[in-house]
Amino acid sequence: MIIDIHGHYTTAPGALEQWRKRQIAGLEDPSSMPRVGDLKISDDELRETIERNQLRQMRERGSDLTIFSPRASFMAHHIGDFQVSSTWAAICNELCYRVSQLFPEHFIGAAMLPQSPGVDPATCIAELERCVKDYGFVAINLNPDPSGGHWTSPPLTDRHWYPIYEKMVEYDIPAMVHVSTSCNDCFHTTGAHYINADTTAVMQLIQGDLFKDFPALRFVIPHGGGAAPYHWGRYRGLAQALEKPLLDEHLLRNVFFDTCVYHQPGIDLLTKVIPVDNVLFASEMIGAVRGIDPQTGHHFDDTRRYIEGADLSDEDRHKIYEGNARRVYPRLDAALKSQGR
């Protein structure tokens, strides 16, 4: 199988965005705040958006299954309060669940959390539990910066985050560390804020000793790990200066990187620097980069081409495409086995 561990519902019916605009407007004028029941999206609408977009491209590019979560840039945890985020997360997660039920062979869910700046992460537990227990989701997305580019939360190694980590260990699920929209003009959302956050998460984890408290905790750092693989010597040197163990022991038992890197040299570097056991196939399709690369004539986010073009053995490709995903996402492995796959 070819398992894409990083997909977002970026093509949801327009009614979802219109409802969200009404919710945001309701922050200024409570009388205009929409009710959850005001959002009407039929199964046929969901089928159309998926069949014309994600599923069509999966078939064209030869991938089998996508771990599917709400649109990252739409999470916008900095907007409103916890109640606003809670309602919005529940709506978005339900849509991903419905997609997974309509296309059970091709999609399985990962949850958006109802995070809010300055709010105890323990408030996210109810939605996390609902998504795992009721929806069969196999992972969560964890935003290390709910402030939207101002970084007001403690580092990921701080006890502030422990309520979520405890549930992750209990349910044996990983978290993809994924920020949302940047409301800071200094940081372009997908070109700077996303990559900055990936890099920042890696350094935070190097500085701390989180995995001594949670040896079974697993994080996926998306977008190829930001700058980390490119500057791996810097991080090894910083870890040494901080008197931390070698990164193979200190980090790589618990931290994994995806292949959302949109050119062949980037994938070549990723797979040479980071052990293959820590690399998971992903495309973020349909995501931030949707155009065709004029140098190749293929879509930038057709990442399978780069894995096929990399200097890898068949065994290594199997690990990247399927084996590592089944190991890092045990609930995914169980779901596939229940389907006879």
Catalytic annotation, pick one of 51, 166, 243, 284 = 284
What is the rounded distance in angstroms from the CA atom of residue 204 to the CA atom of residue 153? Answer: 12
Are 91 and 37 in contact, with CB atoms under 8 Å apart? no
Sheet strand arrangement including 140-142: 111-112, 140-142, 175-177, 219-221, 255-258, 279-280
What is the rounded distance in angstroms from the CA atom of residue 291 to the CA atom of residue 299? Answer: 6
- Token pair of 112 as six digits: 């958006």
What is the rounded distance in angstroms from the CA atom of residue 283 to the CA atom of residue 303? Answer: 6
Active site residue 284: yes
Residues 6+ apart with CB under 8 A from 100: 68, 107, 108, 109, 135, 136
What is the rounded distance in angstroms from the CA atom of residue 154 to the CA atom of residue 208? Answer: 12
Per-residue 3-state assignment (H helix, E strand, C coil) for 97-152: HHHHHHCCCCEEECEECCCCCCCCHHHHHHHHHHHHHCCCCCCEEECCCCCCCCCC
What is the rounded distance in angstroms from the CA atom of residue 49 to the CA atom of residue 160? Answer: 38
Reported as half-sphere exposure (CB side, CA atoms, 13 A), residue 306 has a value of 27
Reported as half-sphere exposure (CB side, CA atoms, 13 A), residue 100 has a value of 28
Are 164 and 113 in contact, with CB atoms under 8 Å apart? yes
Cis-peptide into 67, omega within 30 deg = no
Which residues are catalytic, by number?
284
